[in-house]
């Protein structure tokens, strides 16, 4: 069996999804997702210029050897661009393998450990009142877990991923007005003064059963993060995410020394070497890697297995930037993983998105149910894809009021 061709598409409804389709001489094809939010053209080029020419003629069933060949063969290893591209190839090869076996992908890992996998939604508010409405809407829809972000009174610009004006909904991360980023102003003191009380108010209003998560987006120094973690301890958070810049694995140590708040980190990691110390030293509780830019199913499964030895559960990244293909690949891992924790999930399910990526996976009562279709269980409509093309966009850049460039 041989790979005969592979194609890359960039575009989608409101997103620049990077979709890989790998064709074989037996007619079976596989799909992968290489979307890297705000840098989408780069994994697409990595695929077209380097990986695809080397894929043609290879036996798609040898996914392990192909992964090692691309990872080791580049000499300059790792990095989000290369790992997203390798991740897409890997997903497509697992898709082919499971289709050949005529089984849903989770069967190849060892079958199901659960039916629905717990998910969390994003509640955001320009202010506390707005936030309460947002949380209430998710609770009414049956969500058991909600990430809670709120605009900070007195902050000169909206803080990361909260709506700019009252009443606006959703996550405002990518600005599609061009490639030059907007500048956000950040004030750590205002944040630390406001946020613990805001989280306490949400706990008070929604009671002890709701799983409340909060994302700091890497904006605190280690000592500040330790103080923040102590302040939110009575709220009994399900997790505190990215409290410090993720490049420094040692930064988490000081938080651990001062607080028992569960820590989640890893959405920006792209290999096991970014998180092995965190996991082996049991400094975190949830690992947030994504199947996309952490090198696909092959590599993420290794991270999950290491985590399982150290009481670390999964909480895969599921920002709206991932296409339904990698979200489904993660759903198969979630169905299997003995150390599954929770899955971030934002309903992509607009009519346009469903038309582009048809599937039978579904969400019900705050849980994600994986389809039993052979493979990853998501298709890709190439005619629909012709409606879309790449649109330039950017993330905000964060400065302190005096102009200092800040973490995120
Ligand atoms: C966020 C992400 O989902 C999350 O936890 O931190 O939305 C992140 O901001 C984006 O993926 C960046 O592209
Ligand atoms: Mg995050």
The confidence band for 169, taking pLDDT boundaries of 50, 70 and 90, is very low
CA of 26 to the centre of ligand 1 (A): 38
Looking at the predicted structure, is the pLDDT value of residue 161 above 90? no
Asked whether 267 lines ligand 1 (CB < 6 A), one says yes
Distance CA 60, CA 68 (A): 13
Q: What is the pLDDT of residues 139-148, one digit of tens each?
A: 999 999 999 9
Q: What is the mean pLDDT of residues 184-196?
A: 94
Q: What is the pLDDT of residues 238-265, one digit of tens each?
A: 999 999 999 898 999 999 999 999 999 9
Which pLDDT does position 175 carry in this prediction? 81
Looking at the predicted structure, is the pLDDT value of residue 184 above 70? yes
| Residues within 5 Å of ion ligand 2, judged at the Cβ atom | 215, 267
Which pLDDT does position 348 carry in this prediction? 63
| pTM of the predicted protein model | 0.96
Looking at the predicted structure, is the pLDDT value of residue 50 above 70? yes
Atom of ligand 1 nearest to the CA of 147: 5
Highest mean pLDDT: which of 97-101, 123-127, 168-172?
A: 97-101
Looking at the predicted structure, is the pLDDT value of residue 166 above 60? no
Asked whether 319 lines ligand 1 (CB < 6 A), one says yes
Nearest protein CA to atom 1 of ligand 1, as residue: 319
Looking at the predicted structure, is the pLDDT value of residue 165 above 90? no
Helix axes 63-73, 296-308, angle to 10 degrees: 90
Q: What is the mean pLDDT of the chain?
A: 94
Asked whether 40 lines ligand 1 (CB < 6 A), one says no
* Residues with Cβ within 8 Å of residue 197, at least 6 apart in sequence: none
Atom of ligand 1 nearest to the CA of 38: 13
Which pLDDT does position 349 carry in this prediction? 65
Is 317 noted as a catalytic residue in this protein?
Answer: no
CA of 387 to the centre of ligand 2 (A): 30
Q: What is the pLDDT of residues 354-407, one digit of tens each?
A: 999 999 999 999 999 999 999 999 999 999 999 999 999 988 888 998 999 877
Asked whether 215 lines ligand 1 (CB < 6 A), one says yes
Three-class SS of the chain: CCEEEEEEEECCCCCCCEEEEEEECCCCEEEEECCCCCCCHHHHHHHHHHHHHHHCCCCCCCHHHHHHHHHHHCCCCCCHHHHHHHHHHHHHHHHHHHHHHCCECHHHHCCCCCCCEEEEEEEEECCHHHHHHHHHHHHHCCCCEEEEEECCCCCCCCCCCCCCCCCCCCCCCCECCCCCCCEEEECHHHHHHHHHHHHHHHHHHHCCCCEEEEECCCCCCHHHHHHHHHHHHHHCCCEEECCCCCCCCCHHHHHHHHCCCCEEECCCCCCHHHCHHHHHCCCCCEECCCCCCCCHHHHHHHHHHHHHCCCCEECCCCCCCCCHHHHHHHHHHHHHCCCECCEECCCCCCHHHHHHCCECCEEECCEEECCCCCECCECCCHHHHCCCCCCCCECCEEEECCCCECCC
Q: What is the pLDDT of residues 302-346, one digit of tens each?
A: 999 999 999 999 999 999 889 999 999 999 999 999 999 999 998
Q: Considering just the CA atoms, what is the radius of gyration of the chain in Å? A: 21
Q: What is the mean pLDDT of residues 64-72?
A: 98
Residue (of 330, 327, 331) closest to 347 by Cα position: 327
Q: What is the dihedral of CA 268, 273, 275, 276, to 10 degrees?
A: 170
Looking at the predicted structure, is the pLDDT value of residue 170 above 70? no
Neighbours of 189 (CB within 10 A): 9
CA of 314 to the centre of ligand 1 (A): 16
Which pLDDT does position 172 carry in this prediction? 53
Asked whether 321 lines ligand 1 (CB < 6 A), one says yes
Q: What is the mean pLDDT of residues 37-54?
A: 97
Which pLDDT does position 167 carry in this prediction? 41
Chain Cα centroid distance, residue 141? 22
CA of 318 to the centre of ligand 2 (A): 9
Which pLDDT does position 366 carry in this prediction? 96
Is 160 noted as a catalytic residue in this protein?
Answer: yes
State percent of the chain over pLDDT 70: 96
Nearest protein CA to atom 9 of ligand 1, as residue: 173
Q: What is the mean pLDDT of residues 35-60?
A: 97
- CA 383, 291, 48, 97 dihedral sign is negative
Q: What is the mean pLDDT of residues 201-222?
A: 97
* Angstrom distances, CA of residue 372 to CA of 46, 110, 112: 32, 14, 11
Which pLDDT does position 365 carry in this prediction? 95
């Amino acid at each position: 069996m041989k790979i005969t061709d592979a194609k890359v598409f960039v575009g989608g409804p409101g997103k620049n999804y990077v979709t890989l389709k790998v064709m074989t001489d037996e007619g079976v094809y596989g799909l992968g997702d290489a979307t890297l939010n705000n840098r989408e053209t780069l994994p697409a080029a990595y695929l077209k210029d380097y990986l695809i020419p080397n894929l043609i003629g290879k036996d798609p069933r040898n996914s392990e050897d192909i992964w090692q060949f691309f990872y080791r063969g580049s000499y300059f290893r790792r990095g989000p661009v290369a790992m997203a591209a390798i991740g897409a190839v890997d997903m497509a090869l697992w898709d082919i393998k499971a289709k050949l076996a005529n089984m849903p992908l989770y069967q190849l890992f060892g079958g199901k450990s659960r039916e629905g996998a717990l998910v969390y939604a994003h509640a955001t508010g320009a202010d506390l009142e707005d936030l309460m409405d947002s949380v209430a809407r998710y609770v009414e829809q049956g969500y058991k877990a909600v990430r809670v972000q709120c605009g900070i009174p007195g902050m000169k610009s909206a803080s990361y991923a909260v709506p700019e004006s009252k009443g606006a909904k959703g996550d405002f991360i990518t600005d599609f007005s061009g490639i030059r980023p907007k500048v956000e102003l950040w004030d750590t003191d205002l944040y630390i003064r406001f946020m613990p009380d805001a989280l306490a108010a949400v706990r008070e209003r929604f009671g002890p059963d709701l799983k409340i998560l909060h994302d700091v987006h890497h904006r605190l120094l280690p000592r500040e993060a330790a103080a923040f973690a102590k302040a939110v301890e009575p709220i009994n958070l399900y997790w505190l995410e990215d409290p410090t810049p993720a490049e420094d694995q040692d930064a988490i140590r000081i938080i651990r020394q001062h607080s028992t708040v569960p820590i989640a980190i890893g959405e920006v990691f792209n290999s096991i070497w970014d998180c092995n110390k965190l996991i082996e030293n049991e400094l975190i509780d949830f690992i947030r890697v994504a199947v996309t830019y952490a090198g696909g199913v092959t590599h993420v499964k290794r991270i999950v297995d290491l985590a399982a030895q150290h009481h670390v559960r999964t909480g895969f990244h599921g920002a709206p930037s991932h296409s339904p293909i990698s979200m489904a690949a993660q759903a198969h891992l979630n169905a299997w993983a003995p150390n599954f924790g929770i899955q971030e999930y934002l309903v992509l399910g607009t009519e346009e998105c469903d038309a582009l990526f048809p599937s039978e996976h579904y969400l019900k009562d705050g849980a994600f149910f994986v389809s039993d279709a052979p493979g990853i269980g998501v298709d890709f409509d190439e005619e629909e894809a012709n409606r879309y093309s790449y649109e330039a966009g950017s993330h905000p850049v964060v400065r302190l009021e005096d102009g200092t460039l800040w973490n995120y």
